[in-house]
Amino acid sequence: MLAAGSAAERGLRVILLERNARLGKKLGITGDGRCNLTNTDERDAFIRNFGANGKFLYRAFDAFSNHDLVAFFSEQGVATKEERGGRIFPANDRADSVVGALERYMKRHGVAVRLSSRAERIVVDAASGAVAGVRIRDRETTIKAENVILATGGLSYPATGSTGDGYSMAKALGHTIVPPRPALVPVETAETFPKDLQGLSLAGVAVTVVSGRKRIASETGDLIFTHYGISGPVVLSLSGAIVERLDRGEPVAVSINLKPALDRAGLEDLLIREIAGSARKLIGTAMKGLVPKALVPVLLNAGGIPEERQCGRITSAERKRLAGSLADFRLTVKRPRPIEEAVVTRGGIDLKEVDPRTMESRKVKGLYFCGELLDIDGSTGGYNLQAAFSTARLAAANVPTSRP
């Protein structure tokens, strides 16, 4: 919608082909229906949040920054607000207000919207090798066009229409597709006890991805136990590193530090204070002052300590094991949840085949790409929507008003 409206604002005749019966279906569910539009981070921080492929986005973020995005939506009547971690949301907490603003923007600039029109393939002129139009599935209709912007998204949330159509269309034209994988996705664990803890949230824990003896990545944030394993913002942020190692066939574990403000000696001192003043109290009861009640039996079991043991009978070795459980509570990762449950898709059109200055294909003249279709994915917190908006705006800005 932003690409279409931006191109039309430049005076181009634009047709938007939407496979669904209504616009913005996927955008409407982002951020739990609140739409985390962007983040307040500066450009270089944005780039770092996209990992090794982040440098591809320098031109896009320069052309349409987070500040530009906030200003754009303000002009469309959508006020915004900042929340924890620099996240930017609509002030009314409604994703549908963002969708509505983009619809009005397109209408104002004369975009012709065709709903329930699923693009099947890009038509290319045999003589020139340039874009000539788009074939519509099930209608035996071809729309003539000198330029096409593909903005079909990845494979996450297929019920919204995001089923990877853009990958097949680009591949048919000779583009390389980096195999799509889930990113920002919960993970399943070998341990079954998370099911008993389902719904329990841990705030501000330090989580580390471990493979063998290697510490791969670490972040601090909120985690939640689920019926299949673990989720929450910190797990989603680390899921890319987890999936990458699993794809290599490497064993992966997650280490949770429940008291990241304390080192191991500090943890032991904390336990001594709790235990020393409660000699006759059961250790299971004493631990409820340190961690959530539901987690107590799991931690004690990990340390090999019966809940009914009196604090005065806890040995030095048991105390050290308990401190170890608090600092390094391990879960074995079996696999990520299906890509359909991922917030975004990792993989997509190989960036070497796209001009980062224009978003135009290096293989087919007049073909442009933007958003999740590209092999870019960032952290949770508004980064991915900003990248989608920035690449869309850049592509629209570089579509020529007429072909030479």
In the chain, count H helices and then E strands.
13, 18
The answer, yes or no, to whether residue 239 has pLDDT greater than 80, is yes
Range of the domain at 262: 186-336
The pLDDT score that the predictor gives to residue 156 is 87
Are 92 and 141 members of one domain? Answer: yes
Span 241-267, average pLDDT: 93
403 within some domain = no
- CATH number for the domain that contains residue 156: 3.50.50.60
The answer to whether 184 and 342 have CB atoms below 8 angstroms apart is yes
Task: Give the end of a domain, one of 336, 356, 390.
Answer: 336
Kindly report the CA angle at 147 between 75 and 149, in degrees rounded to 5? 55
Task: Give the end of a domain, one of 294, 321, 336.
Answer: 336
DSSP state of 12: -
The pLDDT score that the predictor gives to residue 401 is 84
Are 208 and 297 members of one domain? Answer: yes
The answer, yes or no, to whether residue 404 has pLDDT greater than 60, is no
Are 364 and 317 members of one domain? Answer: no
Are 356 and 369 members of one domain? Answer: yes
Are 16 and 144 members of one domain? Answer: yes
What does the pLDDT look like over 53-92, one tens digit per residue? 999 999 999 999 999 999 999 999 999 999 989 999 999 9
Q: Is the full-model pTM beyond 0.85?
A: yes
Helix axes 316-327, 264-276, angle to 10 degrees: 130
117 within some domain = yes
Span 351-361, average pLDDT: 98
Span 313-341, average pLDDT: 92
Are 7 and 70 members of one domain? Answer: yes
What does the mean pLDDT of the chain come to? 94
| Amino acid identity, position 360 | E
Are 155 and 269 members of one domain? Answer: no
Are 179 and 193 members of one domain? Answer: no
Are 160 and 276 members of one domain? Answer: no
Task: Give the end of a domain, one of 283, 310, 336.
Answer: 336
Are 38 and 133 members of one domain? Answer: yes
301 within some domain = yes
The pLDDT score that the predictor gives to residue 90 is 97
The answer, yes or no, to whether residue 138 has pLDDT greater than 90, is no
Are 317 and 389 members of one domain? Answer: no
Are 347 and 322 members of one domain? Answer: no
Structure tokens belonging to residue 39: 């983040």
Span 253-257, average pLDDT: 97
404 within some domain = no
User: What are the angstrom distances between the C-alpha of 352 and each of 170, 177, 192, 371?
Assistant: 14, 11, 43, 16
Domains of the chain: total: 2
109 within some domain = yes
258 within some domain = yes
The answer, yes or no, to whether residue 403 has pLDDT greater than 70, is no
3-state secondary structure 173-209: CCCCEEEEEEECCCEEECCCHHHCCCCCEEEEEEEEE
122 within some domain = yes
The answer to whether 107 and 5 have CB atoms below 8 angstroms apart is no
- CATH number for the domain that contains residue 202: 1.10.8.50
Q: SS3 for 360?
A: strand
73 within some domain = yes
Query: Worst-scoring range by mean pLDDT, 26-35, 43-52, 100-109, 266-275?
Result: 266-275
The answer, yes or no, to whether residue 154 has pLDDT greater than 80, is yes
pLDDT grade for 19, boundaries at 50, 70 and 90: very high
Percent of the chain with pLDDT over 70: 99
The answer to whether 42 and 95 have CB atoms below 8 angstroms apart is no
